Homo-oligomer: A and B are copies of this chain.
Amino acid sequence: MLDFDLVIPTRIYFGKNKIDRLAEEIEKYPNKILFAYGKESIKKNGIYTKVIEILNENDVSFVELGGIPPNPTLYYVQKGIELCRKNDLQFILAVGGGSVIDCSKAIAAGVRYEGDVWDFYLQTAKIKDALPIGTILTIVASGSETNEGSVLINESTQLKLLVLNDLLRPKFAIMDPTYTFTVSKKLTAAGVADIFSHILEIYFCPEKNTYLQDRLLEGLFKTCIKFGIIAVNEPNNYEARANLMWTSSLALNGFVLSGKIGDWASHMIGHELSAMYGITHGIGLAIITPYWMEYTLNETTLDKYVDFAKNVWEAKGDNKIEIAKHGIAKTKDFLKSLELPTTLREMGIQESELEKVAKKVVNLGDIGEIVKLNEAKVLNILRNAYGGK
């Protein structure tokens, strides 16, 4: 087990009607806030009205930053920073999924920094202060509601990068599974693929002494698989939505990562597909993950693939290679059952562009931990994932 430091101070309110706890949380902070949200969905399902009602009842004045898109860009962050500075806003309430929350985290850090917020993502500056933020989760996948990460796209350089800092951990997270009933089938499926990928990226780690963490991760895998399929087919199934919601937080809040390091190569590739072509994060991962697995199955990783196949997919037998391949095939079947695209060709990308993608993916250096991938190797995976005619 690797050494680690961990703190998860986010106060979690999980269950039906937990929005009723918003008032007691919001009153702990200054009463001039930024209310950040995404597209129209929270207006349609009533969450928007409910939040405004609670803010008004508690004499909280707010400025709205709506319309934050999936794969948020620096543009919205700068807009948010300006709004906060101009109106002296001291708290951010982020209502949405990973995109809204990650964008809000960037704003929170940017307000308290004189330079360009993108410095944090380029790792040329370190976050030393940030506005407090609170979250109300409406789309499940990123785990951003309780973690220290923020992913952002710089539209001018077409780079999508991650920053991690404990100052970005939300102060509270209101997690009502019924709030996700109205998420579309496609976005639900993309979220499931994203959660699956988070678990997988942490599972496949070069450190070998990770017995405890791997058993926990196998529990998360099983939950994601079982309830992922149910949620896609029965959007109002509370247990499925609740299990996915809590799994997505636990996968990325540090609890199962502590003592390990993640691989994150598939995420790095997926991020560039989002930055360059606007591909929904979970869909990019659903396409790339099986090809990353096939490419990284080798003598060194074999035992890990065998564990995965046996403990997650209940593979039997003695031939390690066959067992490992069975695990990969089952993963493909699972992602296919979510009815997501399975090739880059389907996404309308030109095959001739793959070299450009590979170059961007390794922009900050080789990627991956369990298997190091340089530009040529990334290109190989992209070509395999492109799909036949």
Contact = CB atoms under 8 A, between A and B. Distances in A.
Interface of A: 1-16, 18, 21, 209, 211-212, 215-216, 218-220, 222-223, 226-227, 239, 242-243, 246-247, 250, 255, 258-259
6 residue pairs, one from A and one from B, having the closest CB atoms: A3-B15, A215-B219, A9-B9, A7-B11, A212-B223, A1-B242
A215 B218 contact: yes
Contacts of A222: 215
A223 B211 contact: yes
Given A219-B219, A223-B211, A4 B9 contact: no
A239 B246 CA distance: 29
Please state the number of chain copies in the assembly: 2
Contact of A246 (B5, B12, B212, B226): B212
B7 A12 contact: yes
Contact of A14 (B16, B209, B246, B258): B258
Contacts of A2: 15
Nearest to A16: B3
A246 B6 CA distance: 12
Contacts of A13: 5
Contact of A226 (B211, B219, B227, B255): B211
A223 to B, nearest CB: 4
A258 B10 CA distance: 14
Contacts of A11: 5-7
Given A12-B6, A14-B3, A15-B2, A246 B218 contact: no
B216 A1 contact: no
A306 B215 CA distance: 19
Nearest to A1: B242
Given A211-B227, A212-B219, A18 B1 contact: no
14 contacts: A1-B243, A3-B15, A3-B18, A4-B14, A4-B15, A5-B11, A6-B11, A14-B259, A209-B239, A211-B239, A212-B220, A212-B243, A215-B220, A215-B222
A15 B239 CA distance: 37
A291 to B, nearest CB: 28
A16 B2 CA distance: 10
Contacts of A14: 3-6, 258-259
Contacts of A16: 3
Contacts of A259: 14, 242, 246
Contacts of A1: 239, 242-243, 246
A247 B212 contact: yes
A25 B152 CA distance: 32
A312 B194 CA distance: 28
Contact of A250 (B227, B246, B255): B255
Most buried by B among A216, A220, A242: A216
A364 B226 CA distance: 41
Nearest to A214: B219
A3 B15 CA distance: 5
Contacts of A12: 4-7, 258
B209 A215 contact: no
Contacts of A223: 211-212, 215
A87 to B, nearest CB: 30
A8 B250 CA distance: 13
Contacts of A246: 1, 212, 258-259
